[in-house]
Amino acid sequence: MYDIKPFPIPVVADLGPGTHSEDESLDYLSMPHDMETYHTPVLPEPEEIARHAGAVQLLHEVLGALRLVAEGGAPQHEVGRVMLSGLSVADIALINQVLGEGDVSAQVLAEDGTPVLQIQESVFAGVWRVIELQPNGQVIDWIEVGAVPEVLRKTANMDSHQARPAELSVPPQVMNAPSVLVELEDKSHTWQPGQMAHVVNLSLLPLTPMDIAYLDHQLGTGRVLILSRGYGNCRITNCCVPSTWRVVYYNSQDTVILNSAEVTDMPEVACAAPEDLVDSVDRLHEVLQWVNQA
């Protein structure tokens, strides 16, 4: 399985010509750079691929499932699954090589915080490698195609029906978090599938570190952890409030540049867009054409 990768501007008054010294400069917050882009997988030699008919057949099944989802009526919610059981170690190694590692990875945690399910998006957006560790030690391995693996939505939904953290009295240092909580609670109760996400940009609000800590305690933290590294880094966690997520963006120096809470079934930054799914169909088809010729 893939390793999950570990996750103020000074004001100068304009008082007229000659009032600014030459060494004055603006100290802007560094923004993300080094955007991840698609790279065609480096494939083995043709004679090597010919010895892995099982892997080639499975990749054709993945392409078929991906095409059905991409061309379906609801690509953001439809998923397809192709199991990897019965393949040899060499076949799985070839599949890993073809799929590569994309921008998004995720974990579903047990109650004690240990990962019980690990997910890695491939270089083909919307094609996910999923490995689940059963309580008896058995490993279930599959490829899922869709905007996001369904298990992430299901786990977040289950967490929202669990007991919430104990209510805390509002500390004197907390000023504005209670009003934000009222807004999020109201939106979480009225939000319906298909509606646009309701985003609260916490970075633009007058919230102290104590406000943020109180907010996170009251919302609770679920078992889904998603990391997106397409442009900078983005850490996504589900809350114990229905359809509520915490989404935090970091720049290349791991400094927070956007801190938000979203009311939706799944934050858009974690999902492959419909056009990405169509693009992945074309890219995977090109790879398999080369494989077939080989």
What are the tens digits of pLDDT across the range 87-103? 999 899 989 988 999 99
Q: What is the pLDDT of residues 161-207, one digit of tens each?
A: 887 767 778 888 899 999 999 999 999 999 998 899 999 999 999 99
* pLDDT for residue 7: 41
Q: What's the gap between Cα 143 and its chain centre?
A: 16
Threshold 0.85, pTM exceeds: no
* pLDDT for residue 14: 41
**117, burial (CB in 10 Å: exposed 0-12, middle 13-18, buried 19+):** buried
What are the two backbone dihedrals, phi and then psi, of residue 13, each rounded to the nearest 5 degrees? -70, 140
CATH number of the structural domain 155-270: 3.30.1370.140
Q: What is the pLDDT of residues 2-12, one digit of tens each?
A: 454 544 333 33
The CATH class, in words, for 46-148+273-293 is alpha beta
- Token digits for 92? 């799985």
**Ramachandran area for residue 186 (φ above 0: left; ψ -120 to 50: alpha; else beta):** alpha
Domain positions in the chain: 46-148+273-293, 155-270
Confidence class for position 24, pLDDT limits 50, 70, 90: very low
Q: Is residue 27 over pLDDT 60?
A: no
Q: Do 46-148+273-293 and 155-270 fold alike per CATH?
A: yes
Q: How large is the average pLDDT for residues 53-68?
A: 93
* pLDDT for residue 212: 95
Q: Is residue 35 over pLDDT 60?
A: no
